[in-house]
């Protein structure tokens, strides 16, 4: 029996829903051994655009097969405010009796730093937005987590044929795809000009998440627009098995792409050259710089609003040095002693409540008509 058929089973009566079992380590190893044998017979010089799939892992479901730019209307990103660092330290001390500053044990410092970071961004942060006019994919493999981001165990994995997008253009004739790289193929979008996924698009989800999602009528209707592949077990192996079943050559992808000298990398560069598409990274590019400037302005604006709200909440009950206030407004958080004294005046719980109330107010401002979509 073909291994692919052995691991793909029907999970019910829903049309176009399959399940990949990647939970058995022995069978997973057999799959990769078979994949390596298959690669020995491949003529990589003959690979064409039809042999590549776009793969994207995300927590945002692509409603109506649409991928849009990120802006203030559809992104919520926690950022630290002037209170965040000291508040997180106080909570660490209260809950665990220790912070990373109170130990010389390196492993303990690392663990405590991770815990403090979680507290800082989950409880002591204010909500801002991210601006990004690009959508990013990998080619024939799942993105790896690295120093620029953690991409493990996102809610959805999108698999889409590259062929239909390689020469896709906007109304002005400009090509949507900016760079063709195995680790980061990306498209430039504009507001109102999204990237439309094809009817061949696949959504991969852990089987438990899928079974929960289809209990929501709205989500069930959205999922019905896609071919669904659920999985259990190792995420990367499941994606590789799915790609193999679709006829693509799956390949491991690190931070900088395929392994050095990999013939797949040469094929990607050759195809890009044939279509006149650069092989260049997004980080540091003009688009990256411009997007970060907009995001920085979002952060500056929300910080200013938070300071105004914070002072309004404590009006008449707080004396604050004007120099410190100016530092807060410029997002400078170096004056730790002054901030600590400020928290002493206000109280930890009161500060946390003000942050919570402000974030709720920001959500209502950004999303005036909440849509429950889970």
First-to-last alpha carbon distance for the chain, in angstroms, is 38
The answer to the question of residue 64 being in a domain is: yes
pLDDT band at 10 (very low <50, low <70, confident <90, very high): very low
Average pLDDT (79-103) is 84
The answer to the question of residue 91 being in a domain is: no
User: What's the pTM?
Assistant: 0.82
Closest-CA residue to 254 (of 265, 263, 270, 266): 265
Closest-CA residue to 156 (of 60, 53, 253): 60
The answer to the question of residue 170 being in a domain is: yes
The answer to the question of residue 108 being in a domain is: no
Query: H or E stretch including 139?
Result: strand 134-139
The answer to the question of residue 100 being in a domain is: no
List, as one string, the DSSP characters of 28-88.
HHHHHHHHHHHHTT--GGG--GGG-EEEEEESS--GGGEE--B-TTT--EEEE-TTHHHHH
User: How many domains, in total, are found in the chain?
Assistant: 1
The answer to the question of residue 106 being in a domain is: no
The span from the CA of 253 to the CA of 246, in Å, is 19
The pLDDT value given to residue 255: 58
Provide the domain limits for residue 66. Answer: 1-83+124-364
Q: Which is more confident, 330 or 174?
A: 174
Residue 11: pLDDT over 70: no
The pLDDT value given to residue 370: 46
The answer to the question of residue 374 being in a domain is: no
Residue with tokens 């061949």: 200
């Amino acid at each position: 029996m073909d291994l692919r058929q052995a691991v793909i089973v029907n999970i019910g009566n829903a049309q176009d829903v399959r399940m990949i079992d990647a939970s058995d380590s022995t069978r997973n190893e057999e799959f990769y051994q078979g994949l390596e044998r298959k690669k020995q017979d491949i003529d990589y010089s003959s690979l064409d655009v039809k042999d590549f799939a776009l793969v994207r892992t995300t927590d945002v479901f692509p409603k109506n097969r649409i991928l849009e730019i990120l802006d203030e209307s559809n992104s919520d990103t926690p950022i630290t405010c002037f209170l965040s660092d000291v508040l997180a330290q106080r909570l660490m001390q209260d809950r665990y009796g220790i912070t990373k500053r109170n130990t010389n044990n390196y492993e303990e410092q690392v663990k405590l730093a991770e815990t403090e970071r979680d507290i800082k961004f989950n409880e002591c942060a204010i909500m801002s937005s991210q601006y990004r006019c690009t959508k990013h994919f990998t080619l024939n493999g799942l993105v790896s987590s690295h120093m620029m981001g953690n991409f493990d165990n996102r809610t959805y994995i999108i698999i889409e044929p590259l062929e239909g997008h390689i020469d896709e253009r906007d109304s002005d004739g400009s090509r949507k795809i900016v760079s063709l790289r195995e680790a980061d193929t990306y498209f430039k979008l504009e507001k109102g000009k999204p990237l439309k996924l094809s009817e061949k698009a696949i959504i991969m989800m852990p089987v438990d998440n899928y079974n929960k999602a289809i209990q929501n009528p709205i989500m069930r209707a959205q999922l019905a627009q896609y071919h669904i592949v659920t999985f259990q077990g190792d995420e990367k192996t499941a994606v590789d098995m799915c790609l193999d079943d679709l006829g693509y050559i799956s390949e491991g992808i690190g931070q900088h792409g395929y392994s050095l000298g990999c013939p797949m990398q040469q094929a990607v560069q050759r195809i890009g050259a044939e279509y006149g598409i650069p092989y260049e990274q997004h980080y540091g590019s003009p688009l990256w710089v411009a997007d970060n400037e907009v995001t920085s302005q979002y952060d500056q604006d929300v910080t200013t609003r938070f300071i105004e709200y914070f002072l309004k909440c404590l009006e008449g009950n707080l004396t604050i040095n004007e120099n410190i206030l100016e530092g807060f407004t410029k997002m400078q958080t170096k004056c730790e002693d002054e901030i600590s004294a400020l928290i002493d005046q206000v109280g930890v719980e009161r500060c946390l409540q003000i942050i919570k109330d402000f974030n709720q107010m920001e959500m209502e401002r950004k999303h005036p008509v909440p849509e429950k979509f889970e």
